[in-house]
A and B are shown apart, each in its own frame.
Chain A
Amino acid sequence: MPEKPIQGEKRVFVTGNEVVAWAALAAGAEIMYGYPITPQNEIMHYWTRMIPKYGRRFLQTEDELSAGFTTVGGVLAGRRAFTATAGPGNTLMQEPISMAEAMRLPIVVVVQQRGGPSTATVIYSQQEVTLTTLGGNGEGLRVVYSTATHQELFDYTIKSFNTAWKYRFPTFVLGDGYQAKMRESLTFYDPAERGIEMVPTDAYVGRPGMPGVDRPPKHMRNTYNMEEELYEVLQGYLADFAKAAPEIAEHETFDTEDADLVIISHGVVSRACKMAVRDLREQGYKVGYFRPITLRPMPEKELQEVAGKAKQLLVVESAQGQLARLVKEVIYGSTAEMLSLFKPGVGITSEEVIARVKEIKG
């Protein structure tokens, strides 16, 4: 048995991509499939450097279609398998992800968002929210964790394997180019030592026994002959998703009790927003903060509660309203005024958030 990648707890100062590679190792991921794209490349770089020591595997594929479909194959064989991508790669990745949705395959995909549309920038954005939560020709039967710190990148990369294998929905860690490339302090740990049990994996195909004699053959399809057949299958999936949603949904919130205005953001932008809320509070503004950690499923009840109390909601994001659309859907019927600070493909500072709030408050 190769030794555990992380023993005990270890304080480190590293880039986000390095964090993801270590987290996948710590989570017991057995194989990664990937295709180069900035800003996720270093996940593969660190992974390929570290894996010989721990008996893990890697395959560099011909494109992201293949990276996604080989990940599907790895999961079918019963392995904790993952891939990582960004931007145009995420676009291609949607086809294999739709197969994973259709067949309830627990693939894990790490997305480090870059600018869009098209090739745009290799640097940063929050413009892959719509694609990651709702891409593909289906109903968005997937889980999306949006991380804000390197510690969260580590925590949620580990967690994503467990969510995927427990509920059997494709699961994403949605980061971005800033998180990918920036260095930051965090604590690496062995999940077992923190009491985190990794959900066991099992093979869909290639199990022991003679199919048709010792056991029925496993016949997996994604095509149906009749509308009703598909409808019935989807009803089951949708019911499972609805049941799992409250168990999966996560959020972070503070200072909303007496707030007139609540700032809503996700991912790395929440750092600026949280800082802004604290500064504004000190200056006497009644502001609060809400952040969905899962963008799919959304923390619906909690967000509805906040929207029921606040007079104004200010959505701040590095995209033109992709988070705002998800928020509006959840709080439909609320009388809170919807306000925005949208900077597609560009980072947002706390000063900008403070200025926007002061502009609103006059």
Chain B
Amino acid sequence: MTVQPAMPKCWRVETKPHKFCPGCGHGLVLKALGQAIDELGIQDKVVFGCDIGCSLLSWDFFNMDTVQTHHGRTNPVITGMKRANSDIIGVAYMGDGGGYAIGAQHLVSSATRNERITAILVNNTQYGMTGGQMAPTTMPGQKTETSPYGRDAETTGSPTQGPEMVAAIAPEGAYVARGSVANMKQLKGYIKKALENQMAGNGFSFVEALSLCPTNWRTNAKDTWKFLEEDMYKYFKVGELRVPGPREKEGQ
């Protein structure tokens, strides 16, 4: 891993250290988001919405207006806000359970309506906040609290391919990518483009971030990264799926 630069300017120092478990990927995703916001100079324009899930812990994370919503409902709250005041740059931040299970209809409809918001979804392959149950993103054979013998794809389905789904249904102008906390520069680039795409008024912008949950994976530092880079990369392909206009270098 490369050395991380200092705390993003838009982070709220008073609430650091943050509330996530040590080694959690949420902090890294929010670092990438913070850096992107700093680079774009939009701290005073962004309204950040966090879901219920471990993302709820970010309700006072930034020096930015923030609304904690309900499990799965961050997309509609930010959508309603953006529809009411288009000067806001709306960021909806959620987990894989929030976005792909209980709030799936909101994700689908935000995408098909091409809502001018930026949705960032943290994929940690299970329900972190509630203690590690199976999520739509849980991989075949993966043990969780509700798939103690490993996820059986036959009876419980296969991991949701979120960005692929959004890319397939979103109209022209959408931006869709999957990044990873193992490549922070790239993840920041994707998130920055997802924000720029909203600012340009092009369409729905969606970034899934492959993340880490050592607590529920019950992994040490080495195995945590191995789980992400070996197991998760097999099912979840990192890259951009939809880019309006010409592709740029940054974010590759």
Binding site for B on A (CB under 8 A): 30-31, 33, 57, 59, 61-63, 65-66, 69-74, 76-79, 81, 95-96, 99, 203-213, 217-223
Chain A residues in 8 Å Cβ range of B59: 219-221, 223
> Is B64 interfacial (CB 8 A cutoff)?
yes
- Nearest CB in chain A to that of B105: its residue: A62
**A74 close to B70 (CB less than 8 A):** no
**A211 close to B63 (CB less than 8 A):** yes
Q: Which of A70, A78, A220 contacts B76 (CB 8 A)?
A: A70
Give residues 50-78 of B contacting A (CB, 8 Å).
52, 56, 59-60, 62-70, 73, 76-78
Q: Which of B44, B62, B70, B78 contacts A73 (CB 8 A)?
A: B78
**B105 close to A220 (CB less than 8 A):** no
**A79 close to B84 (CB less than 8 A):** yes
**B66 close to A76 (CB less than 8 A):** no
The distance from the CB of A207 to the nearest CB of chain B, in whole angstroms, is 8
Chain A residues in 8 Å Cβ range of B44: 208-211
Closest 5 CB pairs of A and B: A73-B80, A212-B63, A70-B80, A73-B81, A205-B65
> Is B226 interfacial (CB 8 A cutoff)?
no
Chain A residues in 8 Å Cβ range of B66: 205, 217-220
Q: Which of B47, B70, B109 contacts A61 (CB 8 A)?
A: B109
The distance from the CB of B205 to the nearest CB of chain A, in whole angstroms, is 17
- Nearest CB in chain B to that of A72: its residue: B77
Can you list 8 A-B contacts (CB < 8 A)?
A73-B76, A74-B80, A74-B81, A204-B65, A212-B63, A217-B65, A223-B52, A223-B59
> Is B43 interfacial (CB 8 A cutoff)?
yes
How many pairs of A and B residues are in contact by the CB < 8 Å rule?
139
Chain B residues in 8 Å Cβ range of A204: 65, 67
Chain B residues in 8 Å Cβ range of A95: 70, 73
Of the candidates A31, A65, A218, the one having the most CB atoms from chain B within 10 angstroms of its own CB is A65
CA distance A70 to B77 in the complex (A): 5
> Is B79 interfacial (CB 8 A cutoff)?
yes
**B76 close to A65 (CB less than 8 A):** yes
**B84 close to A218 (CB less than 8 A):** no
- Nearest CB in chain A to that of B103: its residue: A65
CA distance A203 to B52 in the complex (A): 23
**B87 close to A66 (CB less than 8 A):** no
9 A-B pairs besides A70-B80, A217-B64 with CB distance below 8 A are A62-B109, A66-B76, A73-B81, A77-B84, A205-B66, A206-B45, A206-B65, A219-B66, A223-B52
The distance from the CB of B196 to the nearest CB of chain A, in whole angstroms, is 19
**B12 close to A74 (CB less than 8 A):** no
**B65 close to A59 (CB less than 8 A):** no
CA distance A69 to B77 in the complex (A): 5
CA distance A290 to B115 in the complex (A): 49
**B84 close to A74 (CB less than 8 A):** yes
CA distance A137 to B82 in the complex (A): 28
What 0/1 readout, one digit per residue, does chain B (69-107) give for beta carbons within 8 Å of chain A?
110010011111111110110000000000000000110
**A57 close to B83 (CB less than 8 A):** yes
**B88 close to A74 (CB less than 8 A):** no
The distance from the CB of B41 to the nearest CB of chain A, in whole angstroms, is 10
Chain A residues in 8 Å Cβ range of B83: 31, 33, 57, 59, 70, 73-74
**A206 close to B68 (CB less than 8 A):** no
**A30 close to B84 (CB less than 8 A):** yes
CA distance A63 to B75 in the complex (A): 13
CA distance A220 to B65 in the complex (A): 8
CA distance A223 to B66 in the complex (A): 13
**B63 close to A217 (CB less than 8 A):** yes
**A211 close to B68 (CB less than 8 A):** no
